[in-house]
Structure 1
C-alpha cells in the first residue's frame, strides 16, 4: 500500500517537481496539500497546486488548504522570483486562483489527519514551518495521530543557502522551526547536507522531456538551473531539495542518518538567525539543568546519489534505470 502523505509547502519550482514526482511514484499517495508563503505568496502557492492538479487530472478529493501568509516573527516575507519565477513556476504563469478546490478553513488539516489516522499518515514539510507549528499550538492532541514528520530544512556543518549558516526554510521562520522540533516526537530532517547533492542535470531533464509524460518539467528545471548556474558556474545541475525530502519517506536506504538533539537560533536580528545546531557531544548529562529527555531527531547527513538517480529517472520516464 502506498504511503499516505500530507504536504506542507511553499509551492515553488522544487516543491512542484516533488508533487509531480509523487504522482509517478506508486509508493507515495499525497492526500492533501497545505499551501504556505515562502518561495511565493500563499495565494500563488495555492494557485500552483491547483494548476498542477488540473494539468495532471488529479482527483479533486485531494484538498488544497490555505496555510500561513506570514511567519511567526511578524515580518513580511520576501520572495525570490530570481529563483522560482514571479509566480513560482519559472516562466509559467498559471491561471488566476478562482477558489475552485481551495479550502480556506485551516481546520481541514485536522480532518485529513483524523481521516488517515489508522493508515500511518506522515507529513512532509518542504517550506517554512509556520503552518506546521500552528498545528502544534492549536491541536497538539491531533498531531499525535501523525506517524512521522519529514522536514526539508537546516544545514549542519555546511554552508546555508539563505545566509552563510542558515537554510532558507529555517531562516524564514526560526520561531516556527524551533517550536516544531521541540514539540514533535518523531522527526526526520533532510538538510542541505544531502539535498544539495540531489542534482538533476540538463541532460537528465532533456531525456525526461523526450521519454516521459511530464512535459512541464523542462521549462521549470531549465529556469531553475539558469539561476544556479549563474550563482555557481561549476554546478552540474539543479538540486531538488524537496524531492529528496519526499524520497526519504519511502527510500530510507538512500540516506545515512544520525539521531541528535537540534536547536534553531532564534535571534531574528543576528547573522546566525535560523542556524540549525546539532549537539554532537559524545557524553550525557552535560549540564545539570539540561532537560532529562531532550528530543533527538533523525538527520540525513549522507545520500546515495545513484539511488536518487535510479528512482527519479525510473519514475519520471517509466523506464528502469540502474
Structure 2
C-alpha cells in the first residue's frame, strides 16, 4: 500500500532524518514539503529542505515556504546548540539550490489531487498547518489522515517541565487544530523511545545515498545528548516515528481522547486528556505505547531497501 505524504516540518536534524526516511521508504511517496520556523528560521528551513532533496537527487517534490513566526510565542528562537549553526549538524548548506519552491496555494492543489489517499504529517509547530486548515477547510475534509508529532501526556516535557516543544512553540495553533480537526498524535511518550544506538548510527553511516549526510547530521546531535543526557543509549530521533506508525499502525497501542492545550500561564503548552475510568472516548487517536525495538528495525529496513548487497 502506497502512502502519499505532505510533510510539514522545520528541518532541523530529526526533520531531515524524517525527510530521508520518507524518500527511502518503499511504501511512502513524498508529494510536498511545507517549511516553517522552529528548529531553525523559516529561511534556513527552506534551504535545508532544498539541500536534502538535492542530496537525494530529487527535483520534482515541491517545497512550500510557510510560517516565519508563532501566533503565541513571539520570542521563540532556533536551537543551534542542538541542531548545529544551520540546523543540519556540521553541514552548512549552500544557498544556491533553488529546488522546486512554490507558493502556499500549492497545498490546496495537493489536497485536491490526492484527496483520500493523502496523509499530512506535521513534525513542527502547527502555525502553517492551522493557516492551511483555516484557508482550505473544505479540501481538508477529503484527505485520509493528519498525523502530529507533538504533546506529552503524564510525563515531563522537553521545552518546559510539562510542555513538549512543538506544542509550546505555538500553543494557540495547536489548540485550534485539536479543537477542529481529527488527528493521530505521536507524543513525546513514544517518540522519545526512538533512540539511535551506536550500532545503528554506524550502519546508517554506510548508507549509499545518505551516509555522509547522516554522519554530519548526527555528529552535533549526538554530542549534545552525550553532554546533557549521558544516561541515554543514543539520541532520540523523534520525527521518524509518525512516518513509521503511519505505515505500520501495529507498532503502537492507542487511546482515543479529546485533547486540550493550555495557552497561557505557567502551564502553557501542556496537552491534557481525561483518562478517568468514567471518561468517554474522544476524537483524537493518541499513540500510547510503542514497540521501540521493532520500530527501529523497521526504520533500518526501510532505509536500506534496495541496498541489500551493501
Q: What TM-score, normalized by structure 2, do the two folds share? A: 0.94
Q: Secondary structure at the match of 1:197?
A: coil
Q: How does 1:182-261 map to 2 (within 5 A)?
A: 182-185=179-182, 187-210=183-206, 212-215=208-211, 216-261=213-258
- Contact 2:162–2:270 (CA under 8 A) maintained in structure 1: yes
Per the TM alignment, residue 115 of structure 1 is displaced from its structure 2 partner at its CA by 1.1
- Contact 1:202–1:222 (CA under 8 A) maintained in structure 2: no
Aligned to 2:62: 63
User: Separation in 2 of the partners of 1:159 and 1:82?
Assistant: 21
- Contact 2:251–2:294 (CA under 8 A) maintained in structure 1: yes
- Contact 1:37–1:77 (CA under 8 A) maintained in structure 2: no
- Contact 1:213–1:317 (CA under 8 A) maintained in structure 2: no
Aligned to 2:285: 298
Change over 3 Å in CA distance of 1:51–1:281 after alignment to 2 = same
Moved more, 224-233 or 209-218: 209-218
User: Separation in 2 of the partners of 1:211 and 1:149?
Assistant: 30
Per the TM alignment, residue 117 of structure 1 is displaced from its structure 2 partner at its CA by 1.3
Per the TM alignment, residue 97 of structure 1 is displaced from its structure 2 partner at its CA by 5.2
- Segments of 5+ residues of structure 1 without an aligned counterpart are 286-293
- Contact 1:36–1:131 (CA under 8 A) maintained in structure 2: yes
Aligned to 2:94: 95
Aligned to 2:275: 280
- Contact 1:70–1:76 (CA under 8 A) maintained in structure 2: no
- Residues 216-270 of structure 1: CA deviation (Å, up to 9, x unaligned): 1112112211111111111111111100111111110101110011101010xx2
- 2:129 is aligned, of 132, 142, 145, to 132
User: Separation in 2 of the partners of 1:299 and 1:222?
Assistant: 32
- Residues 118-177 of structure 1: CA deviation (Å, up to 9, x unaligned): 5x1010000000000112222211111221100000000011000100000000000000
- Contact 1:136–1:183 (CA under 8 A) maintained in structure 2: no
CA RMSD of aligned residues (A): 1.7
Aligned to 2:138: 141
Change over 3 Å in CA distance of 1:261–1:93 after alignment to 2 = same
Asked if 1:312 corresponds to 2:299, the answer is yes
User: Separation in 2 of the partners of 1:126 and 1:113?
Assistant: 18
Q: Secondary structure at the match of 1:257?
A: strand
Per the TM alignment, residue 212 of structure 1 is displaced from its structure 2 partner at its CA by 4.5
Per the TM alignment, residue 107 of structure 1 is displaced from its structure 2 partner at its CA by 0.9
Asked if 1:122 corresponds to 2:119, the answer is yes
User: Separation in 2 of the partners of 1:196 and 1:48?
Assistant: 24
User: Separation in 2 of the partners of 1:129 and 1:281?
Assistant: 28
Q: How does 1:104-183 map to 2 (within 5 A)?
A: 105-118=103-116, 120-183=117-180
- Segments of 5+ residues of structure 2 without an aligned counterpart are none
Q: Secondary structure at the match of 1:117?
A: helix
Per the TM alignment, residue 77 of structure 1 is displaced from its structure 2 partner at its CA by 2.9
Q: What TM-score, normalized by structure 1, do the two folds share? A: 0.91
